[in-house]
Amino acid sequence: MQIRFNALDYKADDSFETSEYEYDGSLEAGWKIRRNGADYLTLGPGYKLLKTKFCGVCSTDIDRRFLPHPLPQIIGHELVAESVEENPKKQYVVEINDTFEARGNKETDVFCTVGLPTHSPERRVLGIDRLPGGFGSYILAPQNAAIEAEGISEKVAVLMEPFAAALQAILASPPKEGDHVAVLGPRRLGSLVLAALKAHRQFQKINFRITAITRHDHLIELSKKMGADDVVDLRNTDVGSLRRSFDIVYDTTSTVSGFESAIGFSKRELHLKTTNGQAMGGLSHLTELVVDELSILPATLENLSFHWPRENRKNETVFLFSSVADKWKKLISPDIKVFEGSAYEGEAILLSDAFADRLPRFDLVIAGTSEEVGLAIRPNPKSETSLVRPRSAILADTSSESGWQNDSKLLKEFFQEGKVIRTSRCGDFHYALKLLKENPDVASALETNMISHMFPAKDLESAYAKAKDPSSVKVVVSFP
């Protein structure tokens, strides 16, 4: 099949330009993508051609130019699409990760083998990394990532990707019975986190209290509609009175001040859901921390056993930065293989024969300074590779006075009190769909309250500008 259409490409200077695209191929044979007459991307088998119906504008779209992926590109990844060749036509939502598993390939890699297919270095990401996204008239969706979305409205379906991502935060940092949790910054993503918390509470029948923290009138009302039991208005609240008030704080602000407030507000855990690429609290590479779904925990013997909820594995390797090596290699069980050195030496070890037949990441890293935490996340500025495996943890040893100074003093106190930082990224669409179908009041709240503005595809640039306006919540683009 051959499809031609014009689309607005997003450029590195935060502007758009019109380009002509051509898709030529099939699900079975693969596809050639041409852009303005030149070869753009070659895809193997396993991609389903879909026609875009709606696509939401995400904070990632707004900050797309700051991500380390090539531009220009058709962006947009929160979409509802319909089949082109099926009769009758079906409605789909699309998971954004283009992986071996998503394409249905028999060939896989070690990331798939250990249950981390969405973290494979070979993956592309719909509308973010190379694979053309939902602000074009057509997309090529990995066949297993295209999920039928019958039985829910289009206005709910277009929110499926961010709702699943919000739900992933709750699965990674689940409230306990009797907890009091807070969502800091209940706008686009924050409102969906509120809805996900409410749905999780109803589905799991766990009793916990949900508070939204904001400073905007329209978000106060929205928070109540999306699931908050109460709302704190920072404009008339003594911030000091909120210190250590919430068992878990889900920070969706993408700001340095929000992150620092969340550190102070949390009693047990801070879940960092989104960042803006800046160093915060003396830590660098926090965006990459979220991308890899890593955690930062106090360095304790108990935390050497850390793994994600629902995971069933044991940590077998740990890397010690030289600053803490002498202390920790005496304490770690002989069951765990210990490596030590600088970030550069850690990279070399992962490329050595010691990791020839396993995931080329350490199960854990112990760092003695805030700088080393950043190096554990991204040791090499020329590579998007971490020292630690996705969904695992960096353990922060705060015993060094010199390693946690200035901006990182807040974090030093945070970790010394036994608190943790968790992160999460994309979510499970199947579980999200199940939760929404079984909690129709939550689905109704999404449909009624979340979409603040709709624009036709021809007005994408206006939609993009409106999404930057703090008065908007979710801006959606529609296609004929």
Where residue 208 sits, what CATH number does that domain have?
3.40.50.720
- Does residue 134 sit in the same domain as residue 14? yes
Q: Give the model's pLDDT for residue 58.
A: 92
Instruction: Judge whether 462 lies within some domain.
Output: no
- Does residue 377 sit in the same domain as residue 438? no
First-residue to last-residue Cα distance in the chain: 21
Report yes or no: 80 and 93 within 8 Å, Cβ to Cβ. yes
Instruction: Judge whether 248 lies within some domain.
Output: yes
What is the chain's mean pLDDT, rounded?
95
Q: Give the model's pLDDT for residue 275.
A: 81
Interval 375-415: pLDDT, tens: 999 999 888 899 999 999 999 999 988 889 877 888 999 99
What are the CA-CA distances from residue 363 to residues 306, 312, 319, 352, 378 (Å)? 9, 13, 8, 16, 15
- Does residue 121 sit in the same domain as residue 200? no
Q: Which of 389, 414, 439 is the last residue of a domain?
A: 414
Report yes or no: 411 and 370 within 8 Å, Cβ to Cβ. yes
The rounded radius of gyration (Å) of the Cα atoms in the chain is 22
Residue 277: is its pLDDT beyond 80?
no
Residue 347: is its pLDDT beyond 80?
yes
Instruction: Judge whether 286 lies within some domain.
Output: no
Q: Give the model's pLDDT for residue 319.
A: 98
55: Cα separation from own chain's centroid: 18
pTM: 0.94
Report yes or no: 288 and 377 within 8 Å, Cβ to Cβ. yes
- Does residue 86 sit in the same domain as residue 127? yes
Mean pLDDT of 145-149: 96
> CA-to-CA distance for 96 and 264, rounded, in angstroms?
34
Instruction: Judge whether 407 lies within some domain.
Output: yes
Supply 51's token pair: 């026609």
Count of domains forming the chain: 3
Instruction: Judge whether 455 lies within some domain.
Output: no
pLDDT classification of 282: cutoffs 50, 70, 90: confident
245-249, 264-268, 306-310, 456-460: range with lowest mean pLDDT: 306-310
Q: Calculate helix-pair angle for 188-204, 217-226, nearest 10 degrees.
A: 20
- Does residue 146 sit in the same domain as residue 69? yes
> CA-to-CA distance for 340 and 107, rounded, in angstroms?
34
Question: What range does the domain containing 268 cover?
Answer: 154-273+424-450
Residue indicated by tokens 């010690």: 320
Positive or negative torsion for Cα 153, 448, 442, 266: positive
Q: Give the model's pLDDT for residue 123.
A: 94
Where residue 301 sits, what CATH number does that domain have?
3.40.50
Interval 187-222: pLDDT, tens: 989 999 999 999 999 999 999 999 999 999 999 999
